[in-house]
Amino acid sequence: MGVKRIKNALAIVVLTKRRFPFANVLLGLGIYAIGILISVHYNFLDYFLKIWYFPLASFGIIWVSSLWTWGFAFLQRMFEELGSTFEIEELQFKKVVEDLVRRLSNDKRALLFSIPGFAFLIYHTWLIQTGGLVIPFIEPSAVSTNLVMFVYVMALFAFVMYFIFASVYLLFNGLLFLKKTTRFPIRIRLLQKKKVKLDKTNQVILGSTIGWFVGVSFVMTILFVYSSTVVFSFLVFVVAFGMLFFFIPQLLFRNSIRNSKENLLDKVESEFSIKVKFPLSSECNINEALLLCAIFDKVERISEWSFETSTLFKLFSSVVIPVAVFLMGLIL
């Protein structure tokens, strides 16, 4: 199960797959340790340890790389659930899945998708160098003129930008996959309860959304050097994108469930008109009518939403995280 079964994944996921214990943690701590070694060598360790941007960036890398590894590990379960829920031929669904995995495993596309993040980092650095932005701490001249430290900082935050924009790339391709899948009707089973169960799929969607809210909250702290308007705009983007990523699949599922319900109800009505003759004279005719009415009622009662109420509670609770970070930044 997981990355080893899918085999194809972004390089960072392959690097941190389960056979390397705590590899995600070692990745983030290793990057932070490099900064410490540079600081010790050039005698500004006290300054490096005081700047909370560095541990925050390293923790963000640990968080997002762990989420990517978790996401790829759960993909196989999601594929199995969707394949059994939607009326799609096995070979056809296999092609859709292979197309998704190929897209998700494309490091070059993920890097290209991250170019806006790299451009923002360069612009951000240029503003600081030219005095257009005032950083909230005093930078010793030994640090500001140190080329090795400059390269380290740029590489660290380029890594952070890659994780953010590559995450958007992964989520966007996930939405395209779900759109292709939901073009097919859903199998409505009369023995199921009042909902079409997509628990594993919704678990991946909810987990990815919460991970997005937490991950970008780290980045928001770096933006506090800008005006509150810029940070608030970023907050709106973060919340809007997360909500869209959760609710677009739910709307796609709802549309598919609704269409399948309408088709099945039409079939029951057609069968009723053919098999049941009025007046209901025979016991067989009455039993047939009662059975079809029960089936009609059962199908009609099936919810058009696939998620539980508790899922919404978890979703809206997670929105508190970026909002709290934003309010903390205004106060502090």
pLDDT tens-digit readout, 261-307:
888 888 877 777 766 666 655 555 677 777 778 878 888 888 888 88
**pTM for the full predicted model:** 0.81
pLDDT of residue 148: 93
| Residue 148 structure tokens | 């090795």
| Residue 261 structure tokens | 């319900």
pLDDT of residue 9: 65
Domain coverage including residue 48: 3-331
Phi, psi for 186 (deg, rounded to 5): -90, 145
Q: Among the listed ranges 136-140, 181-185, 192-196, which one has the minimum average pLDDT value?
A: 192-196
Mean pLDDT (whole number) for 168-180: 90
Q: What is the pLDDT of residues 232-264, one digit of tens each?
A: 888 888 899 999 999 999 999 999 888 888 888
pLDDT of residue 18: 53
Number of domains present in the structure of the chain: 1
73: left (phi over 0), alpha (psi -120 to 50) or beta: alpha
- CA distances 202 to 82, 208, 210, 253, Å, are 11, 10, 12, 10
